[in-house]
Amino acid sequence: MTRAASIASVRFALLATLGAWPCAAIAGEATAIVVSPNGPVRSLGDAVRQAPAGSRIVVRAGTYREQPILIDRPLTIVGEGRPVIEAATPATLIRVVANDVRLEGLVLTKIESSHVEDRAGVRFERVTRCAAERLEVLNAPYGIQVSESTDCRIAGNTIHGAGAGQRAPGNAIHLWNAKRMTVVDNTISGHRDGLYFEFVQDTTIERNVSERNLRYGLHFMFSHGCAYRSNRFAHNGAGVAVMYTHDVIIEHNEFLENRGPTAYGLLLKDISESRLHGNRFQNNTVGLLIEGGGRLAMTANRFLGNGWGVKLMANSAGNRFEGNVFDGNSFDMTTNSRSTEAVVSGNWWDRYTGYDFDRDGRGDIPFRPVRLFSLLVATNPSSVVLMRSTFVDLLDAAERTLPVLTPNTLVDKAPLMQIPQVDAPPLDRAQMEMPR
């Protein structure tokens, strides 16, 4: 054994005898850098600049005016007691360019808008394994931006924009060119788009609430292989838009109270090979609008109290509607062509008046969900004022008896006689404000 090795062995034995290992562990916990209004470190920016890679920074309660903060090494920054970090300069407040950075428990505010650059509370650029959790971002143009990143987590944040009063509103959570992200349990309002994803793949979006945004509660394009589950989108300017994407799962979400001349609960444009299951579309001008959709499965959804339950355009093919509930809609289903095709089978319709002599739970008479009057309204919107008239009732009755103008390809040949126990949020008739 060499002399150096002998000295190291003796030192190890001596430290173990004196009980130095527990002391070292305690000392390691105490090495966190603490930022506080009256302590030796009074600025988060200063703490970040002096912290070695892998450090933990604890920010105590208080208000801190900060210049833009650049994080270029792995750090964990945790706020205790909701410390407020204010931007002292018009710019993005925190910019992260290192892997393995975690931000938690901070309140970020006073980030000014700009017409020439996108400014955010937090921006992650080309990173992996980063996290933003339990942050509050208030009145920032963009809340949390992520670009060219992988395997990051955005969870439990509250992001509120200034709404229409903001000079250049951006998006609350904005992902661009990202993979394997997790976006869960966030509460969002007052932005242009609540959630905006472009070129995002294999990402999970769950249990978020996105309400009262100026345009879309959720807007994503070219984002394949993603799953959207148990989210709530309500009172947004135009609803939710899903575009130019394939292999998407949309399950157990709520699309509520999205109203206006160009509003809908959910727009699917040029979408293919995707599934909508167990969602609730309630009190929207249009519940679901499908334009250019192919090979989509719509199962166990509820369309309740909408103006139009489903608008299915003629450029959509190979779609399937099974086990859905249509209740209280002014128009259950409409289209813009007699040649529109889809499999429509085994749904429950509140307007169905047929019978079930063989008692198999399915009506013996097919149901035609596309009313003749809905086609007239599509070409002459002002004719909707006649909806409650006897003339319209006679017109629809005549078309049901001798169908001539409504599509023969959109007929439910086995309508359900009872509301199915679908795997969806519970039926709430008290919220069904739109008349039949």
Domain containing residue 194: CATH number: 2.160.20.10
Q: Is residue 396 part of a domain?
A: no
Q: Judge residue 172's burial from the number of C-beta atoms within 10 Å of its C-beta, 0-12 exposed, 13-18 middle, 19 or more buried.
A: buried
Specify the number of domains making up the chain. 2
Supply the pTM of this predicted model.
0.85
At 393 the pLDDT is: 65
Do 173 and 272 belong to one domain? no
**Above 90 in pLDDT, residue 426?**
no
Q: Is residue 68 part of a domain?
A: yes
At 312 the pLDDT is: 93
Q: What is the mean pLDDT of the chain?
A: 86
Q: Is residue 310 part of a domain?
A: yes
At 115 the pLDDT is: 83
Do 89 and 103 belong to one domain? yes
Report percent pLDDT > 70 for the chain. 81
Q: Is residue 115 part of a domain?
A: yes
Q: Which residue, 204, 233, 262, sits at the end of a domain?
A: 233
**Above 50 in pLDDT, residue 316?**
yes
At 326 the pLDDT is: 97
pLDDT band at 396 (very low <50, low <70, confident <90, very high): low
At 17 the pLDDT is: 39
Domain limits for position 246: 238-370+407-436
At 163 the pLDDT is: 78
Q: Is residue 243 part of a domain?
A: yes
Q: Is residue 27 part of a domain?
A: no
Q: Which residue, 184, 210, 233, sits at the end of a domain?
A: 233
What is the token pair recorded at 187? 């509460």
CA-CA distance, 327 to 308, in Å (whole number)?
A: 11
CA-CA distance, 81 to 63, in Å (whole number)?
A: 11
At 409 the pLDDT is: 81
Do 122 and 243 belong to one domain? no
Do 135 and 49 belong to one domain? yes
CA-CA distance, 342 to 363, in Å (whole number)?
A: 19
Q: Is residue 19 part of a domain?
A: no
At 173 the pLDDT is: 98
List pLDDT tens digits, range 291-314: 999 999 999 999 999 999 999 998
At 19 the pLDDT is: 39
At 310 the pLDDT is: 96
Do 246 and 273 belong to one domain? yes
**Above 60 in pLDDT, residue 1?**
no
Q: Is residue 250 part of a domain?
A: yes
**Above 70 in pLDDT, residue 354?**
yes
Do 221 and 244 belong to one domain? no
Do 357 and 210 belong to one domain? no
Do 247 and 335 belong to one domain? yes
Query: Does residue 315 contact residue 338 with C-beta atoms inside 8 Å?
Result: no
**Above 70 in pLDDT, residue 93?**
yes
Do 288 and 348 belong to one domain? yes
Give the lowest-confidence range in 19-28, 200-209, 364-373.
Answer: 19-28
At 30 the pLDDT is: 45
**What does residue 15 show for φ and ψ, rounded to 5 degrees?**
-65, -40
CA-CA distance, 88 to 120, in Å (whole number)?
A: 14
Do 50 and 132 belong to one domain? yes
Do 208 and 256 belong to one domain? no
Do 167 and 279 belong to one domain? no
Distance (Å) of CA 372 to CA 36, 133, 303: 69, 52, 20
Q: Which residue, 233, 266, 282, sits at the end of a domain?
A: 233
